[in-house]
Amino acid sequence: MIYSRIAGTGSYLPEKVVTNSDLEKIVDTTDQWIQDRTGIKKRHIAADGETTCDLAEKASRNALEAAGITASEIDLVIVATTTPDLIFPSTACLLQQRLGIAGPTAFDIQAVCTGFVYALSIAEKFIKSGSHKRALVVGAETLSRIIDWSDRNTCVLFGDGAGAVIVEASDEPGIIASHLHADGAYESLLRVPVGVSSGFEQMIRGEGYVEMKGSEVFKMAVTTLGRIVDETLASTGLQKSDIDWLIPHQANIRIIKATAKKLRTPMDRVVVTVHDHGNTSAASIPLAFDTAVRDGRIKRGEILMMEAFGGGFTWGSVLLKY
């Protein structure tokens, strides 16, 4: 059996920090409302000209260093993003060029906030098949570029950043199980209503931003995240009590707490970064993962449950032994 083991993690946040007080100056909101309703205190925002690939490159170099390998040892690059630098080439190809590694398989995955979970699960399937040995899996976003900064319903929620992991073939687990789901019927609750083959004129005029029916999304997220964790545990025979760390998508502290409660996981076993990063979509889980690895909370041999819910709707989980 070929397992996929996490060999190293990395992350990067843009230098510019925007606090809730900064947002009070541009929309009708308060620090108190944002903290009470979301848990967010601040978020990082990419500088003018700083792109998703710039963030992805820095996170990737940190992950390569942590794994003690060079980029030339990578044979698969997957970037999860909803905010690619260009329509094409993919951000994965741009990243591959930056890292100076011509040849390896490289592609982007678009599953919004579930993007990293999708990408990690796909990398595991490539490695398990024996076709690839070492993958660079990145979640990177510049969500700030598709936010209407005059809309208080959405602009207080999101931030920019990138997280990366190196996944390699191993005799030992490794990724134990992953589950991926989607239901396109809920498109109208969470979307950016412009794209290439529809609304392109609007898009190039700089119109078309994240639209969200927040409370409907909230309810769906809480119900769905509890279910996906149960599904994943049931497929492995592991119990809720076997999970050492829950690493949830960081959208809202109330969603995170509700999911932890369903799992009967105490909050001191849940990695929370939403207060510092906001919702960084596909970057949020690898950012939280790297934060808790680097500050010494997550240790080798521990069981981690990652779970996410986002636009699509998409949702999924990865259970792994670190």
Give the footprint of ligand ACO on this chain (CB under 6 A). Answer: 29, 33-34, 37-38, 112-113, 152-153, 156, 190, 214-215, 217-218, 221, 251-252, 255, 279, 281, 310-311
Using CB atoms within 10 Å of the CB of residue 16, give its burial: 0 to 12 exposed, 13 to 18 middle, 19+ buried.
middle
Q: How far apart are CA 47 and CA 37, in angstroms?
A: 27
Smallest gap from Cβ 249 to ligand ACO, in A, equals: 7
Nearer to ligand ACO, 83 or 121 (CB): 83
Q: In what order do the strands lie in the sheet with 134-142?
A: 3-12, 160-170, 134-142, 76-80, 105-109
Length of the chain: 322
Q: How far apart are CA 68 and CA 179, in angstroms?
A: 29
Residues 6+ apart with CB under 8 A from 55: 12, 13, 14, 46, 140, 141, 142, 160, 161, 162, 283
Nearer to ligand ACO, 221 or 272 (CB): 221
Nearer to ligand ACO, 153 or 170 (CB): 153
Tokens of 225: 């995240």
Smallest gap from Cβ 76 to ligand ACO, in A, equals: 25
Q: How far apart are CA 255 and CA 259, in angstroms?
A: 6
Nearer to ligand ACO, 67 or 253 (CB): 253
Q: How far apart are CA 140 and CA 10, in angstroms?
A: 12
Smallest gap from Cβ 111 to ligand ACO, in A, equals: 9
Nearer to ligand ACO, 157 or 318 (CB): 157
Q: How far apart are CA 254 and CA 10, in angstroms?
A: 27
Smallest gap from Cβ 28 to ligand ACO, in A, equals: 7
Smallest gap from Cβ 273 to ligand ACO, in A, equals: 15
β-pair partners for 305: 246, 319
Nearer to ligand ACO, 84 or 311 (CB): 311
Q: How far apart are CA 189 and CA 216, in angstroms?
A: 7
Is 179 among the catalytic positions? no
Please pick, among 44, 132, 249, 277, the residue that the annotation labels catalytic: 249
Is 113 among the catalytic positions? yes
Smallest gap from Cβ 250 to ligand ACO, in A, equals: 10
Please pick, among 44, 113, 132, 155, the residue that the annotation labels catalytic: 113
Helix axes 52-67, 284-294, angle to 10 degrees: 40
Is 277 among the catalytic positions? no
Tokens of 16: 């510019």
Tokens of 150: 């005059």
- Residues with a known catalytic role: 113, 249, 279
